Amino acid sequence: MPSLLNTSRPPVFCPGCAHDRILHALDKTFQNMGLSGHQTVIVSDIGCSGLFDTFFHTHALHGLHGRALTYATGLKMARPELHVIVTMGDGGLGIGGAHLLAACRRNLDITLLILNNFNFGMTGGQFSATTPAEAQVGSDFLNRMEKPLDICRVTSSAGAAYVVRSSAYQKDLAQRIESAVRFEGFAVLDIWGVCPGRYTKRNRLTPQTIDKSLAKLPPADGPVAENTRKEYGRHYRELAADRKQAAPLLKIEAIFDPPDPVQQEVILLGNAGQRIITAGEILCFAGLTAGLRVTQKNEYNITVMRGHSISEIILSPHEIGYTGIEKPTVILALSQEGVDRRVRIFNQLDSDTMIIKARGIDLPSCHARIHQVDFKKQRIKAVNWALAALAVLAKLNKVIHIEMLQSALESKFKGKTLAAALDLVREVEIDH
Amino acid sequence: MALSLMEGNEAIVRGAISAGCRFFAGYPITPATTIFNAMLKLLPPLGGVCLQGEDEIASIGCCLGASMAGLKAMTATSGPGISLYSEHISFAIGSEIPIVIVDVQRLGPSTGSATRGADGDINFLRWGNSGGLPAVVLAPVDVKDCFLLTMQAFNLAEKLRCPVFIASNKEIGMTRESIDVDAIKKPEIIERAAPPPHEPFLPFAVPPGGQVPYFLPIGDKRLVRQTSSTHGADGYITTDPDEISKTLQRLKTKLLSTVDRYSFHEAHLKENADTLLLTYGVTARAALDVFKKQQKLGKPISLLILKTLWPVPENLIREKAAQAKRVVVVEMNLGQYVREIERILPGKKIDFCGQMDGRLITPSRISEVVDHA
């Protein structure tokens, strides 16, 4: 196959730059594999490594510093047949650290070439995540306190299934890149090279010293046994194929007339664990059975099973505007925490508002009509108080009636849960 | 008639899927998380892809990659995530990558209050990109808007090749509401325009008389170049000031010159009404209550609800405000869009009613300002 180098844009790097060798090795890989430009995309980011995409006659996506792996992930998930090659410098490695770790953990079939030349060449030789502490760099003394990152160890620890430590000057670099591209999974090549423009102006680094340094490090030459596993995209599609179609959207027909055809506003004041939000939803469903417009606005803590839980429901024969409630028709006061959370509302109430309150809860003084129910005496568990309060409401023929509630429960629950809910509604007494 | 109960976030997801969205990547954040949840439930069974990125930057980055591969893509977050999206918003604007970005706003600044609503990101969405070029921002009022405007957002993103924001709000996104899904009149679906076949392809060349380049996906037989750098028609870096200027001017003009075609709004104009109430987002619901009440009281006012916020629908605003002597701008922030209204309507008395405390602005608060002429 012919070279995929871009004949209209011959590669230009500083004289002696290792990138030039890696570029030609990559082109040789493409030739050996018989790849065409349209089967391949080079994804790059900022810095000298970011010039790669322009020097090839392939698809190209050049983006922000350190983010190349994020674009590559989207591309590969959308087009699994594409060969996705990412080039990145040690600068992009540092900036995009989280993306590198995530790519290792995911194992999506992408080949990452890290063009590691130990500094930010393009901006003046500042230190990067791989700069040795003893190097002379463009950031004065700031690299001396920091330990350089061993890319191969980091990526292996993070789950990369294929890791290669290499010098840009190795004769078999093209073969090593080819093996990485052919590997089905995430493959990282940490390729060490010289940056004559910046780094070696003040530091001694040659192909020979690179070889010596590499020889001292634990080898990394391909598949990482403990990380061998299914490729992410293939695995994703397998698991996704097993997902069931979501249930069709629940639609509730209007079959009843509401007790009172005016706007009704209900606030449920309770606790997490009292199924307040579910009760609010059931109340909304009940409204829908009478063709009412409904809104439900909830407030709860970030904690589960602890803290207040509040639901505000509006049922109206007309389109609903404002979704807040300033003067409720009914308050269901089911926990002290819930009441305390909305303590401000009580002094605004008059006798138009009815409060259905569980016995044992202290209300602030107010002018609302209060209807007390002793749920404990009726041996109803706290978890069912909200539903029981809706049953009381329905039995008082206030806001909803009992058929609306029963029909709502039939929309919400099935089987044993439905039977238990209907039993509860039947048995609740409206005591006073 | 059959009604469903749906929160705004779910309506956005259903609107997106109806518009052809097949790629979503997001990162959990209250109050936008239920968009991610619903996408995860609905997209994979349709053969689409839903990913959880390692962070917000990755999430939108994945979407840009998928969009360049030809899929309709969406991401969703709240204010803190929009901050992290910023560099990729700039990329999408400058490199004309279609994407829909949902901001379910919460009270800021910064991490603010996760479970409290606000419209505090309205100017941030417009101006939060390097270079300051315009983007499209649509603001839903209710659950139905969430569905419809998301469909429109995809259409605009595909047609104009740009990011389109949905400026939602916790108070819409997480509020459930009755909706008659079967009664929704869906707009026609618009797809990216492909170039004529068998011709050489330049990724940023604009067809004669047009303002938006043809699109080919990465992976097509013809090679595609995409770059975040300042580029010419061929997708390579350019330093030619004339070419740069032409492209950047086009990025601005392609939106500003077409906004009249997508100035979504709702206008209730009353003859002889001196006051025009102007608002957007969830606050429009309270404003509509005030409008109706004033009507009943025999003191009618006019009401303009903007659903396209950016680019500013200047012609629409001027037209609808023509009769008014006074414009009351109501916003769930301490004064952002009101600056645009002051700019557009220099001859009129502009009053501002704002609130930023995590609560909805009540109809009575708006009435106070309306009455206090």
> B266-371: what CATH class?
alpha beta
Average of per-residue pLDDT across B304-325: 98
pLDDT at position A301 over 90 = no
Long-range Cβ contacts of A279-283 (<8 Å, 24+ apart): A279/A311, A279/A332, A279/A386, A279/A387, A279/A389, A279/A390, A280/A311, A280/A312, A280/A313, A281/A412, A281/B5, A281/B176, A282/A387, A282/A390, A282/A405, A282/A408, A282/A409, A282/A412, A283/A313, A283/A315, A283/A390, A283/A399, A283/A400, A283/A408
Q: What is the DSSP string of A284-337?
A: HHHHHHTT-EEEEEEEE-SSSSSSEEEEEEEEESS-----S-SS-SEEEE--HH
Nearest to A62 among B53, B67, B227 (CB): B227
- For residues A284 and A278, give the distance between their C-alpha atoms in angstroms, rounded to a whole number: 10
Q: Show residues of chain A in contact with B66, CB under 8 Å.
A: 74-75, 77-78
Digit-coded pLDDT (tens) for A32-73: 999 999 999 999 999 999 999 999 999 999 999 999 999 999
Indicate the residue type of B324.
Answer: A
Tell me whether strands B113-117 and B136-138 are parallel, antiparallel or unpaired.
Answer: unpaired
B319 touches chain A (CB under 8 A): no
For chain A, list the domains and their CATH numbers: 18-241 (3.40.50.970), 264-427 (3.40.920.10)
Banded model confidence at residue A300, pLDDT cuts 50, 70, 90: confident
Indicate the residue type of A126.
Answer: Q
User: Chain-centre distance of CA A322, in angstroms?
Assistant: 32
Banded model confidence at residue A306, pLDDT cuts 50, 70, 90: confident
Digit-coded pLDDT (tens) for A151-162: 999 999 999 999
- Decide if A70 and B62 are in contact by the 8 Å CB cutoff: yes
Q: Provide the number of CB pairs (under 8 Å) joining chain A to chain B.
A: 221
Residue A163 forms beta bridges with which residues? A188, A222
Q: Could you say which DSSP state residue A148 is in? A: P
User: Chain-centre distance of CA A155, in angstroms?
Assistant: 22
SS3 content of chain A, % helix, strand, coil (to 5): 35, 20, 45
Task: Please give the residue of chain A at the shortest CA–CA distance from B171.
Answer: A297
Interface of B with A in 191-230 (CB under 8 A): 217-229
Helix (H, G, I), strand (E, B) or coil at B20: coil
Label residue B219 left, alpha or beta by phi (over 0 means left) and psi (-120 to 50 means alpha): left
- Decide if B171 and A81 are in contact by the 8 Å CB cutoff: no
pLDDT at position B373 over 80 = no
Nearest to A296 among B41, B176, B288 (CB): B176
* Residues A84 and A72 sit within 8 Å (Cβ to Cβ): yes
User: How close does chain A come to B137, measured CA to CA in Å?
Assistant: 23
Task: Please give the residue of chain B at the shortest CA–CA distance from A62.
Answer: B227
Nearest to A71 among B61, B225, B289 (CB): B61
Residues of chain B with CATH 3.40.50.920: 266-371
- For residues A328 and A267, give the distance between their C-alpha atoms in angstroms, rounded to a whole number: 7
Whether CATH 3.30.365.10 fits B1-262:
no
* Residues A291 and A254 sit within 8 Å (Cβ to Cβ): yes
- Nearest 5°: the CA angle B195, B196, B199 is 100
* Residues B282 and A323 sit within 8 Å (Cβ to Cβ): yes
- Decide if A82 and B73 are in contact by the 8 Å CB cutoff: no
- Decide if A320 and B177 are in contact by the 8 Å CB cutoff: yes
Which has the closest alpha carbon to A61: B320, B217, B271? B217
Helices B79-94 + B56-68 axis angle, to 10: 30
Q: Show residues of chain B in contact with A38, CB under 8 Å.
A: 219-223
Which has the closest alpha carbon to B265: B335, B301, B225, B312? B312
- Decide if A67 and B23 are in contact by the 8 Å CB cutoff: no
Tell me whether strands B176-179 and B2-7 are parallel, antiparallel or unpaired.
Answer: antiparallel
Rg (Cα) of chain A, in Å, rounded? 34
Is the model's pTM score more than 0.80? yes
Place of tokens 């179609």: A245
Banded model confidence at residue A314, pLDDT cuts 50, 70, 90: very high
Digit-coded pLDDT (tens) for A355-405: 999 999 999 999 999 999 999 999 999 999 999 999 999 999 999 999 999
Interface of B with A in 116-175 (CB under 8 A): 171, 174-175
**Element (DSSP H or E) covering residue A73:** helix A68-78
Please state, rounded to an integer, the average pLDDT across all residues of chain A: 96
Residues of chain B with CATH 3.40.50.970: 1-262
